[in-house]
Chain A
Amino acid sequence: AQTVTQSQPEMSVQEAETVTLSCTYDTSENNYYLFWYKQPPSRQMILVIRQEAYKQQNATENRFSVNFQKAAKSFSLKISDSQLGDTAMYFCAFMNRGGSQGNLIFGKGTKLSVKP
């Protein structure tokens, strides 16, 4: 069974600085997706970034980028130029592409606080 581990329950960063959130996963599959979702106080789950395991190039979306290390089964999220609106829970998630179910396996989340 796949598992996703986020080892940092809480983190804080000063506005405009850079922060990295860690995620590791365990799987025997070779073809999968990895995601980062953001959940602000509004509770809405918002997709931040997606990475296909077969792609070596790290995904980037504006200020958000990932460091995908497939052999190490590591998938960290870097947020550059942090903004107050980045304050949220961040969830790392795994999806097996070969499975018929297609459900997401989530980590327990990292609470990020951006301080002015």
Chain B
Amino acid sequence: DAGITQSPRHKVTETGTPVTLRCHQTENHRYMYWYRQDPGHGLRLIHYSYGVKDTDKGEVSDGYSVSRSKTEDFLLTLESATSSQTSVYFCAISEAGGYTDTQYFGPGTRLTVL
């Protein structure tokens, strides 16, 4: 199994509060991704990173920001959480990005915004 951890695994927060989710990898992979999973939508890409300090937006990036100051850590921040951001969040990693490699997923974080 790929060495990917996510923290916290569960979080309940209130509307308007900031939230940061952390993804940590021990594989030294270059690419990291944040997805959200909602019923009826499958998984959708929020943001991704192709190296330290190199990030870009995905399909559903509004309301989210990311940072990657080290190869092993990729942070997802909800600046002011809303109820529509209640979801399960998955981090994924891959070695070579879109050209050759497979993405491996972390265990997920269930976020509830009240």
| B105 partner, pick from A44, A99, A100, A109, beta carbons under 8 A | A44
Please determine whether B41 and A108 come into contact, CB atoms closer than 8 angstroms: yes
Checking A35, A42, A91, A96 against B102 with a beta-carbon cut-off of 8 angstroms, the contacting residue is: A35
Within the assembled complex, what's the spacing in Å between the Cα atoms of A42 and B92? Answer: 17
Check if A95 sits within 8 Å of B98, measured CB to CB.
yes
CA distance A26 to B107 in the complex (A): 29
Chain A window 28-64, contacts with chain B (Cβ cutoff 8 Å), 1 for yes, 0 for no: 0000010101000011111100100000000000000
State whether A43 touches B107 (Cβ < 8 A): yes
Looking at A35, A43, A104, the one whose CB has the most chain B CB atoms below 10 A away is A104
* Chain B residues with a Cβ closer than 8 Å to the other chain, count: 29
B99 contact from A35, A50, A102, Cβ within 8 A: A102
Q: Is B102 a contact partner of A50 (Cβ separation < 8 A)?
A: yes
- Using a CB–CB distance below 8 Å, which chain B residues touch chain A? 31, 33, 35, 40-45, 48, 50, 56, 58-59, 88, 90, 92, 94, 97-100, 102-105, 107-108, 110
